[in-house]
Structure 1
Amino acid sequence: MSWDSFHIVFIRCCGIAALLTNTLMFHLICYKSPKNLGAYKYLMLYSAVFEELYAILDIIALPDSITLRSALLTVVSSKKNHMPKELLPVLNVLYWALYGISIALIDIHFLFRYLVVTGIKQRVNWNSVTAIIAISANVKQLFLALVLQTIIPLVLMYLPSGVLLFFCFTDQSFELFGRIMSTTAAVHRVLDPLPNMFVINKYRNALTSYCGTIFCLKSNVTKGVTSGTAASSSLEMK
């Protein structure tokens, strides 16, 4: 398989997966959020919607980054995405604009969550013992999610782009670096909502409930089909 074929399949698969995970995250934030999240919930909603838009742009544009020595190019090709040539510069600009916003959003997300965690800790002394236990559990969950949501962009966004820019500045970059950056950025949009889903108890319990409902429905349907088949076979024997 050539790089172009792999790139098209990979970017589109990551885009669809990112739409699924972020849409699920949007639903969980709207209907299953802890009460003490406050205004932070709206920042999480904005982040989920932004990642969905970014994934849609990836699916449409199929951008590919190419580097050689000190050059860094982002190529949006009509041969790949079958878009009119007049739209290609617009898609290219939108891609880099959203890339820059995503980097800034990671920093804002980190700062805001840190303030939420410290703010909750400062209010603990004014609550009852039961509330203190509940708030402490929420603080631990938010802190763990904060750590994981810092590691994921660090590995998939900051390090690839930082290494790429370093080698471009030193006139030593080669083609592979650009391709690594474009693929890791696509993977980041898939993984970004997962720490919140699996670390925060409210979201994790909701996911477990959804999965249990789906599997129970499937098992009930299977049992119904099996019993129906057994009944029909018994009638045939009679």
Structure 2
Amino acid sequence: MENDNTYKMTYKVIGWTWWGDTDYVVASLTDEVVDAVVKEIRKCGYCFGGDSHQYRDGCVPVLSTGEVVKCSMREWGAIMSMAFFDGVRFPLDYMGWYMDTCIEDDALKYPEEGVDEHLFTHPHYFKTGITHKRFESLKTKGKVLHVLATSDENTNVDVSDIGVFWGYDCEDFDQLQARVMKIKRFKNPEEFIKSDVFEKTDLADLTGHELKVAINSAWESVPIQDDEEITVYYLELIDIIPDRRKNA
């Protein structure tokens, strides 16, 4: 089914950080992401190898979406070659930028480490898994209600935030970008089950222990407790991020 949403993610490099920085989600290497990095390299004249990308401070691009771009040394070399050869690609082009030792010393140029988070186009970007059934519903229908026990991991997710979702136990390795359109919170399972929202979810036909396990979908075979809070996220599809292995 073709996605009718007009909203599309746009990317721009707004800073540089180090490989071990865990403050940001790792971006998928889509064509749009690669193009954004290539444009920044061309604009600023940066030139460095894949080893510096991984081991030197300030050589990991931070995108306007709040993501970072992390590559293998070979992938980084390929990105550099695209920047210098105006997109023309040959199988071994990456070797010219595989490591700093492949580059003339006077040609090396590194970014200055730092990120201006005021330039983020979105304040919160998160990544998590959802059940296979919900993954397929979001992918094919463009929206889904995601129900789970409230936890520290997701309590800071808010309306309009954007998530990247993959499917649990799913043979489809694409990832889905979706926006949180609405959030409903319930004090306990009983309140949730008695609500109108419950009837609209994929849990409406379940009862008893099976229902309690399904509500607590992030924890396999562990039922939700009677005093645990429940959160329902109304998700709307933005984009499908294809599995990179399909083109390998």
Same fold? TM cut 0.5: no
Q: TM-score range by the shorter chain?
A: under 0.3
Q: Select the structure that is richer in helix.
A: 1
Higher relative contact order, chain-length normalized (CA < 8 Å, sep 6+): 1
Q: TM-score, normalised by structure 2?
A: 0.19
Larger radius of gyration: 1
